[in-house]
Chain A
Amino acid sequence: MTQPTLPPDFPDEALMQAMAGGQEDALRELHERYARLLYALGHRMLRQTDDVEICVQDAFMNAWKHAARFDPARASAKTWLVSIAHHRFLQELRDRPDTPLEIEDWDAPTAAADPTDRLMAEQAVQGLEPDHRKLVELAYYRGYTHSELATLLGLPVGTVKSRLRSALGRMKTALGPSGTL
């Protein structure tokens, strides 16, 4: 089995370029860096462990196959990878028959993998009203549409939309112009 040969400080964007060139150890290194984050996201979204590994694997395989399409001017490699995984988990959620709408309780996390990025994420949500934060999290982690959120929370659809707009605006302001991780 090939062992990772890349230095740990090799930039993510260079890893993507190496993957586009078919370098297997770049994929392994990307997995080493971000598997914990994607598994955390998968467990949060799917709320069990059975299907998480295959979805995470799908996300990495997607990144591997399409690495040449990655454009660092648009997003960081990490954001790109998380967005691929998020999409895959949503697909998995939707493939589950008759999933009821529900408001879940989720304890606030205590420790994340990367303290700097965690701090930025905290900053992004800190300024949100609790009900706005809950709305964003339900939309993001459960993939509820505007009308589903309206039904779930007993709000008019217009209110759901305006709250989401407002929440995203505040998060952007908190993160600053780059808004990158």
Chain B
Amino acid sequence: MSIQRDDLIALALGTLSSQDQARVQAALQADPVLLAEYHSDIRVLHTLPERLPPGQVPEGAAERMMARMRAEGLPQLAPVTTSNMPLPGSQGSGGQGSGGQGSGGQGSAVVTEPASTNSRGWTLGLGALGLAAALALFFALRPPTDPLTRYAGMPGAVSQPLTGANKSEIGQVVRLRDGTAFLYLSAAPPQGQVYQLWKIVGETPVSLGVIDGQGTLVQDAPDGLTLAVSVEPPGGSEQPTTTPILVQQL
């Protein structure tokens, strides 16, 4: 498969069709020299916005983003440990409140006690029990991390089942007060493929993007909006290439 220099530039500019994008990306994975050239293109092109005057950030934008982040949950592929880059003054992954109290209280008190081995063991045992209790409390009190449960638990949220072609339930959509909706499909997409979300305008599907996994937030989900989901190759397609597994009006 031959990749032209122009293909790399078009990929960096984001102007390739999804089919060509997949083709070029596959070639990049197989050729470290091409990959390095592509990264170099990316670095150069993305200097361009530096020439723009600073944008106006709307008031409250950071708060709205943080609220959304909390609603959507923790990052994917997070490392098992979070302590390899400790941050001053921070508590680790979302562990505020009960988690912070619990882990702070025990450790230092027990090890500074100049006591016999027995009493030290006893104190350590009490410390371990306290830590376990604090952790239990932390896990009991923290909000659920799966996004569907979190969205469904938000004030004013209304859940609606998603019905597939054979009338079976294939997922849920949770409509929220702010006009957004969280759509969740119960099954993962087939191996090597992705779900792509569409809205139907008239009779035309308009892409709302590839679903990252099984759930996605639909930013503008008014009454009567018709959504569809199809199974597509990685990166998505410009138009559905398979029969949608879901077509449903909100």
- A37 adjacent to B55 (CB under 8 Å): yes
Q: Give the Cβ gap from B207 to chain A, nearest Cβ, in Å.
A: 7
Residues on the A chain within 8 Å of B61, using CB: 31, 35, 53, 56-57
B50, B68, B79, B84 interface centre (most CB from chain A within 10 Å):
B50
Q: Check A23/B6 contact, CB under 8 A, given A1-B66, A39-B56, A140-B13.
A: no
Looking at the complex, which one of B58, B64, B75, B206 makes contact with A66 (CB distance below 8 Å)? B75
Looking at the complex, which one of A25, A44, A111, A124 makes contact with B47 (CB distance below 8 Å)? A124
- A37 adjacent to B49 (CB under 8 Å): yes
Looking at the complex, which one of B70, B87, B209 makes contact with A91 (CB distance below 8 Å)? B209
A181 CB within 8 Å of chain B? yes
Interface residues of A in 1-46 (CB under 8 A from B): 1-2, 5-7, 10, 14, 17-28, 31-32, 35-44
Looking at the complex, which one of A28, A40, A143, A179 makes contact with B53 (CB distance below 8 Å)? A40
Residues on the B chain within 8 Å of A37, using CB: 49-50, 52, 54-55
The CA-CA distance from A95 to B238 in the complex, in Å, is: 10
The CA-CA distance from A68 to B80 in the complex, in Å, is: 11
The CA-CA distance from A140 to B6 in the complex, in Å, is: 14
- B43 adjacent to A109 (CB under 8 Å): no
Looking at the complex, which one of B9, B47, B65, B92 makes contact with A23 (CB distance below 8 Å)? B92
Residues on the A chain within 8 Å of B90, using CB: 5-6, 18, 23, 25
- The segment from B34-42, B110-118, B152-160 found at the interface with A is B34-42
- A68 adjacent to B53 (CB under 8 Å): no
A132 CB within 8 Å of chain B? no
Residues on the B chain within 8 Å of A1, using CB: 63, 66
B57, B82, B93, B212 interface centre (most CB from chain A within 10 Å):
B57
A150 CB within 8 Å of chain B? no
Residues on the B chain within 8 Å of A48, using CB: none
Looking at the complex, which one of B47, B87, B206 makes contact with A95 (CB distance below 8 Å)? B206
- B15 adjacent to A146 (CB under 8 Å): yes
The CA-CA distance from A17 to B82 in the complex, in Å, is: 9
A151 CB within 8 Å of chain B? no
Q: Hey, what's the 0/1 contact readout for B72-93 against A, CB within 8 Å counting as 1?
A: 1011111101101101111011
The CA-CA distance from A5 to B96 in the complex, in Å, is: 13
A-B contact pairs, 13 of them (CB 8 A): A1-B63, A21-B82, A23-B93, A35-B55, A35-B62, A40-B55, A52-B55, A61-B69, A68-B75, A82-B49, A94-B207, A95-B207, A109-B52
Binding site for A on B (CB under 8 A): 5-6, 9-10, 13-15, 39-58, 61-66, 68-70, 72, 74-79, 81-82, 84-85, 87-90, 92-94, 96, 201, 206-209, 212, 219
Additional A-B contacts beyond A75-B42, A120-B47 (11; CB < 8 A): A2-B96, A18-B85, A21-B93, A23-B87, A27-B65, A49-B58, A65-B75, A79-B46, A109-B52, A117-B47, A136-B45
Which 7 A-B residue pairs are closest in the complex by CB-CB distance?
A39-B55, A22-B93, A21-B82, A40-B55, A121-B50, A68-B77, A5-B89
